[in-house]
Structure 1
Amino acid sequence: MQVTRDTFNDVMVPNYNPAAMVPVRGEGSRVWDQDGREYIDFAGGIAVNVLGHCHPKLVSALHEQSNKIWHLSNIFTNEPALRLATKLSSATFADKVYFANSGAEANEAALKLARRFALDNFGENKNEIIAFKQGFHGRTFFTVTVGGQAAYSDGFGPKPGGVVHAEYGNLEMLASLMSEKTCAVMMEPMQGEGGIIVPDEDFVSGVRALCDKHQALLVFDEVQSGMGRTGALFEYMNIGVVPDILTSAKSLGGGFPIGAMLTTNKIAASLVPGSHGSTYGGNPLACAVAEAAFDIINSQEIFEGVRKKESLFRQKLEEINSKYHVFSEIRGKGMLLGAALSPEYQGRARDFMLAANQQDLMCLIAGANVVRFAPSLIIPDEDIVEGLARFERGIATLLSK
């Protein structure tokens, strides 16, 4: 059966507007479309393909597990899930792990757990969740309400209550909103969709102190910033602020859908049997691939490599900007970087992304004013250099129009 980009318009719900080309094959940091045209991938499936496309060890793990057992449901446990949970808890602050299928589901679980823990320990009046404007936590109705972007949550009727938003980085505003009613503060330790915003570390430690003061849980959404992407296994390790609950997805599975919520024994006790669940969560196939990805990522060699590749990215982006003066700053950490557009190019991030795509480079946006790069952690240096040369050609073409 022959399908093309036009087939999308015929059969798919129009909530996406995908690129004109249709990728069919990937290897490492390179992708080929239906016409055999080759692209360098700086998008990484939106910070998912943490080891590139078709990494041999991930392919091997998937093949091996596919010949054993695919699905069981949570009526039974399975060896890959138990091994992955053990490794995640051993490498982090956490004692317990809950598996889901996505970042949104992991965040849904975290929010429900925070409410349930508060109910169990403080009573029904402690139910308020505070999050941050321009945050992003998923597309379920609960998570999209907690995420602080009205463009994603408006238009679907009455929203879940008990959710308040503060300005990211404004500790004084957060302090004014918190009270004995606050059961949790949810935040990205580095905002992704909101524009690749790296907070002041004093702000993050201040949020931790306010949560302690008000006996509220601190929930870190590390769906985008986690699994080595910022030069540590999780960004909280760079900051030195430990959350009560942490969520992971995207890079966790190296391209295979999986999400996880991590927490302590004390907090986990509130999710008793029957209180929450997922048919596919902890799927043996997903956990086997994620375990293989974890084994590769969780190494100082990878983390050091990420920091070196960040320096190369920044150097080349600054060289581009010295010629074209299109960026006000380069934001982010590791292999999660954002080129914030100068005032005269505000609102045109998508134009820059499309111009790059026309020069055979895949990249992203983070809002209307930031071009986002989230490539493989092990992308070869020569692909970074060549990819940014293509990006520069896209900028030159765009500005010449």
Structure 2
Amino acid sequence: MLKPRKLGTNVRMSFSKIEAATEMPNLIEVQKDSYEWFLREGLNEVLRDVSPIVDYTGNLSIEFTDYTIDPTPRYPVEECKDRSVTYDAHMKVGVRLVNKATGELKTAQIFLGDFPLMTENGTFVINGAERVIVSQLVRSPGMYYGDEVDKQGKHNFTATVIPYRGAWLEYETDSAGIFYVKIDKNRKIPISVLIRALCPAGQDTDDAITEMFGTEEMLLATMQKDECAALAEENGTSYREEALKEIYKKLRPGEPPHVESAEILVNNMFFDPKRYDLAPVGRYKYNKKVALAARIEGHTLAETVVNPLTGEIVAEADAPITRELAIAIEDSLVNSVTVRTETGREVKVFGNNTVRPELVLGYDLSEAGVKAGEKVRYSVLAEIIAEADSEGFEGEARERYIKRVAGERAMLLCP
């Protein structure tokens, strides 16, 4: 029987006897949605990454405030093909020039360039030729675990932190029970060297590290392999300085190691958002894998867990940790828990020191850009709360102050 069948915007007559099981899906939905997201949010992220631009004297800075794309393309699609030109539209950005020396401020709309537009078919016309963007499979940012068995039958564990942009961190253990790390695919060093380099002054000694992480056999063996302690005593320097120089020698072989240069290198490598970025996907996966609740679930508590703010006992020692109890412990602002494994070994497990703001404040920080349910750094949040209390704010004024300051420190607040 002849039946009308709609295919896209066209209606055709079908002679088929079997009804179609499903309608034809939108095969270009991924490309179009991705392009729409880039117009809506992606361009903002790109401009935010390069803003502000500061001159070498530090007096002048240019900040990008917003952007607009002309809704009318320069030429229609067919004319672009005939003229062998690109189907695009003018893009303008709002800029703010700040002279820090004089305090002068200028704002203007400037033409940045011609922005390629996507056609209704999900394609681009570049120099008159119709092109498509092909999806690529790349290794997603995040943390990846591995387990290898050596010739002696011992398990050697690995963990790789892959950022969206920046240096890789590859952790591994060996058959001798030493814990190593590779920075940016260079030669491995004991993990204690990296810990000392990142620790503040006074917390880089063996005693301070064992007090922080516990007397773990692998950690003790790793610190014995570490030569920073011996070099510090020999040269009359700190453990941290020797650790920084050791990392610098691995990353910049052939160059004379200086503490100042090494400190700048490490800070730029891991703490500069323009050079190191996990991206939202990588941060989500990282937080999910190293979350305190995910790592203590299924074990037994070796000590009583107490909420540090209220003093309330969250769980007693020797209690089996269920999924519900693990989440309750994580939400009680506890950042480290000692658990007992099936073999009777006690392990100190650390969290990210993050918390959902509504558990502390009683309200969310959505107005400050923190999504509902998203966790923030408790140390930064506690600092904002302390500032609000020291200023004497109460009630709604206190809430407004916390939200305003949280928005200003969003980069520090959100991990």
Task: Work out whether the TM-score is over 0.5.
Answer: no
> TM-score normalised by the shorter chain: which range applies?
under 0.3
Write 1 or 2 for the structure with the bigger share of helix: 1
The two structures have a TM-score, normalised by structure 1, of 0.24
Write 1 or 2 for the structure with the bigger share of strand: 2
The two structures have a TM-score, normalised by structure 2, of 0.23
Higher RCO (Cα < 8 Å, 6 or more apart): 1
